[in-house]
Structure 1
Amino acid sequence: MSIGRTIRIYLDDGSISGIRHAEIVNWTGQAISAPRTQVKSLSDWEESKKPGVYFLFGVDETSGNSAVYIGEAENVLDRLQSHVATKDFWNEVVLFTNKDENLTKSHVKYLESRLVQFAKSAERYVVLNGNEPQQPVLPRGDRDAMEEFLSNIRVLLGVIGHKALESLAQHEVPKSLENQAHEESALASNNSNFSLKVKGISAKAVLTDEGIVVLSGSMVADKIRDSLSTGYQKLRAELIDSGAVVKGSDGILRFTRDRLFTSPSQAAAIIAGYAINGRHHWQTESGKTLKAVEESEATSI
């Protein structure tokens, strides 16, 4: 069973775009979010001068996509001040430290290494870390404590507005988040898994709270029809240009990674190459359409 959490967020100047302090009730960790323009103001926050990990969020200059750099430091504020001078891409920092003095250099290096792994696995942001940080060996008790710390970082980071650690679909879960995600995925019935089969094209997807996630390996029609809207044609071309959809040696276009779509019809149209009602064509393993699943769930409330 999923466990609820109570989260407190303090707005330093009353603005949602300024410095924010976030914490989970009964957890010793804490998060501070600040725009780049207010990093100097963090000198008034003792919480920022402790050992911890941090996320720099911005835009990748090469691809134009959202990007993140993940780091660690014994004094996070000192490190951030150096990044203001040396890294141009970012416009927001989110840092995590502990309210007590129990986070050591080894602990934060462990957290950094695991967080980079999670962010790369999630594939939501371009991860700008050149190399994957080496993971130190911790005593079993310390390692388990850091895994719990990571789980809470994931929650607070998402609440602050960045889903950099969230897998698009629960079929792939970063190892250190397995314990927490296990309960979440166990709650999802087979009605969350769908397939689409049209004119020799086969695709699989998972329905999530964010939309529908087409899974890596799903096929895409080679040609499009006039009924495919201009917007969908443009999105399809972007998927191919970015390498999210690639033609294999067998001449078939396939998704190379999981891809989130805002609606079932958008996903179905991109895959089929023409206008199509996704709620009628995405089906469960038992052959139940997405429309029928939604109607069934609505009547059971």
Structure 2
Amino acid sequence: MPIGKSIRVYLADSTVTGIRYAELVNWTGQAIACPRNRLGELSSWPEASKPAVYLLFEARLGDSKPLAYIGESENVAERLTTHDRKKEFWNEVVIFSSKDENLTKAHVKYLESTLVTLANQADRYELENGNTPTESSLPRADRDAMAEFVENVRMVLGTLGYPILEPLIRLLPVAKTDSTETTEETLKGKSLIDLNFRVNNLTACGAVTDEGFVLKKGSQLSRVNTDSAGMKVAKHKDQLLAEGRIISEGDYLVLNEDVLVSSSSYAAVMVAGTSRSGPQSWITSDGRTLKAIEDMAVSGVQPLGKPAQT
């Protein structure tokens, strides 16, 4: 059963686009998000002059993957002056340090390597890091402490608007206490991340997530788009082709990686190349439509045939 977390965000000048300080309740870590044009103000923040890991982010514009860079330093405020001169892409930095003095150079190098690995696995951003940094050697107790630190970094980054470490597809959390209900809810979650759509000799796989709908790698898309599909879909496919995220294969297109889109209907239109209803098109492995699952969820009926409790 997932445990709730509380994150406190302090707006230094009462604006959501300015410098923000974030902390997780009962965590010794801390984060500072600072716009590039406000770097000069970091000198007044001692939190930015400690050993820390930091992430440079490009603003998310359109459907392209934004750029990011992950680094470490014993004094991030000083390091950022170099990045301000040599790296053009970024517009904000998020710094993670510790409230105490227990985060050492070895720790931040370990964190840097781990964060780069997780960001590459999540594949939401195009990393400017040339290679995965070497992971420093830590005692087992310290490695466990850093694993917890990384999990907290993931939550704080997401809260600040940067889900760089979040997998596109994650089994929805279960909040049931009865063991039987937990099993059924888990199966429901699995069915929503294992959906299929077949049309005109094309086969696609997808998943419902909290953020929208994920078209999975290997899904086949129509090369032709009718007027009913809309110009947005055609332009989106052209952009994905240009970025190498879609490849051409015979008479159709194939996704080269998982792609997050706004809805199941948008995903169905991308596959078919014509207007489609996503809830009617996507089918679970046991033959139910996504609409059937959604209708039962709204009505309170258990999707696997178990009577709803009153």
How many pairs does the alignment contain? 286
Alpha-carbon deviation of 1:5?
Answer: 0.4
- Give 1:1-301 correspondences, 5 Å limit: 1-58=1-58, 65-170=65-170, 188-248=189-249, 252-300=252-300
The residue aligned with 1:181 is none
Range with greater deviation from structure 2 (34-43 or 92-101) = 34-43
Match of 2:256, as an amino acid?
T
Offset from partner CA, 1:109-143 (integer Å, 9 cap, x none): 01001111111221211111112111112111111
3-state SS, counterpart of residue 188 of structure 1 = helix
* Deviation at residue 153 of structure 1 after TM alignment: 0.2
* CA deviation string 1:249-269 (max 9, x = no partner): x66521110001101111111
Change (3 A) 1:59 1:15: closer
Q: TM-score, normalised by structure 2?
A: 0.87
Supply the RMSD in Å over aligned alpha carbons.
2.1
Tell me: CA distance 1:270–1:9, structure 2 relative to 1, closer, same or farther (3 Å): same
User: Is the 1:59–1:65 Cα contact (8 Å) retained in structure 2?
Assistant: no
Q: Which runs of 4+ in 1 moved over 4 A?
A: 184-187
Give the direction of change, closer, same or farther, for the CA distance of 1:187–1:289 in structure 2 (3 Å limit).
closer
Residue type of the alignment partner of 2:118: F
What residue identity is the alignment partner of 1:95? Answer: I
Partner of residue 175, structure 2: none
Amino acid at match of 1:16: V
Q: Distance in 1 between matches of 2:188 and 2:72?
A: 35
Q: Distance in 2 between matches of 1:186 and 1:96?
A: 37
Cα offset, 1:221, TM superposition = 2.2
Could you say what secondary structure the match of 2:58 adopts?
strand
C-alpha contact 1:18 1:34 (8 A) present in aligned 2: yes
Where does structure 2 lack aligned partners over 5 or more consecutive residues? 172-184, 302-310
Cα 1:147–1:79 shift into 2, 3 Å: same
Q: 1:66 to 1:105 in 2, by over 3 A?
A: same
Residue pair 1:170, 1:185 contacting (<8 A) in 2 also: no
SS in 2 for 1:227: helix
CA distance, structure 2, for counterparts of residue 265 and residue 64 of structure 1:
20
What displacement does 1:222 show?
A: 3.3
SS at 1:155 equivalent:
helix
Paired-residue identity, %: 44
Asked if 2 retains the 8 angstrom alpha-carbon contact of 1:217 and 1:254, the reply is: yes
Structure 1: give runs of 5+ residues left out of the alignment. Answer: 172-183
| Deviation of 1:287 (Å) | 1.2
